[in-house]
Structure 1
Amino acid sequence: MYHLHADNTEQLNHALRSKMLAFNAQHFDAERQPLGFKYLDKHGALVAGISAYVFGNWLLISWLWCDESARGNGLAGALLTSLENAAIEQGAVQAQLDTLDFQAKPFYEKRGYHVKYQLDNYPRNGTRYFMEKPLRTA
């Protein structure tokens, strides 16, 4: 007999994620390899960074952030280029990311990313874009 319980905790979220990753690992022939770069100021404080995973043939970009005080200096572009080049070295041929309408869609489009699909009215009246880019041609 099973009993339904309400559970809005992060513990449940983490437990389900762990179980799904373990199940999925049985069906994938690749592991997620973490990849990231960062810029620090002269005091060692983070001013910009990018994190991602290489998963088989794919570069899955998680986060790209640049402090407002450092914007306009080319750091984000340099981070993205470094990440893409490192991913290519690890065998990635395609990159994927998502961004919101008030974030960096034009930035990514200038660097060869195109919208694969979008979620309108996200979460209520914005847009979430899922973008891809070929990293190298076969």
Structure 2
Amino acid sequence: MYQLQADNSDALNSTLRSEMVEFNAQHFDAQRVPLGYKFVDDSNELVVGISGCVFGNWLIINWLWCSERVRNKGLAGQLLAELEQAAILLGAKKAQLDTLDFQAKPFYEKRGYSVKYQLDNYPLCGTRYFMEKPL
């Protein structure tokens, strides 16, 4: 007999993710190679960071964060370029990411990314953009 139980825990989420990654790995012939770069200040405090992975032919960009105090200084653009170059050396041919309407869409467009798909009314009245770029 099976019992239905509510479970909103991080533990369940983590377990389900692990199970799906394991299942999917049986059907993919590519491994995920993590990549990340950061800039720190004189106090070794993070001011800009980017992370992602190369998965087969794809660079998947997960996170790009830039502190307000160093915005518009070119640091985020340098990190993105560095990540892309490292991905190319690992065999990536394309890059993909998602961003929200109040985040960095113009930043990515200036660097060659284009919107491939968008979710309107996300989560209620915003827009989520899925972007891609050939490397």
TM-score, scaled to structure 2: 0.99
Q: How far has the Cα of 1:60 moved from its partner?
A: 0.2
2:75 maps to a residue whose letter is: L
- Once the two structures are superposed, the pairs formed by residues 75-94 of structure 1 within 5 Å of their partners are 75-94=75-94
Structure-1 residue corresponding to 2:40: 40
Q: Which runs of 5+ in 1 are unaligned?
A: none
Structure-1 residue corresponding to 2:107: 107
SS of equivalent residue, structure 2 residue 2:
coil
Q: How far has the Cα of 1:2 moved from its partner?
A: 1.4
Is 1:118 matched with 2:130?
no
Structure 2 distance, partners of 1:3, 1:33, is 39
Aligned-residue CA RMSD (Å): 0.5
Structure-1 residue corresponding to 2:65: 65
1:36 maps to a residue whose letter is: G
- Once the two structures are superposed, the pairs formed by residues 16-31 of structure 1 within 5 Å of their partners are 16-31=16-31
Structure-1 residue corresponding to 2:12: 12
1:28 maps to a residue whose letter is: F
Listed one character per residue, the Cα deviations across residues 101-120 of structure 1 (whole Å, up to 9, x for unaligned) are: 00000000010000000000
Q: How far has the Cα of 1:98 moved from its partner?
A: 0.2
Q: How far has the Cα of 1:37 moved from its partner?
A: 0.4
TM-score, scaled to structure 1: 0.97
Moved over 4 A (4+): none
**Number of residue pairs aligned between Structure 1 and Structure 2:** 135
Q: Which runs of 5+ in 2 are unaligned?
A: none
Identity within the alignment, %: 70
Q: How far has the Cα of 1:94 moved from its partner?
A: 0.4
Q: How far has the Cα of 1:48 moved from its partner?
A: 0.3
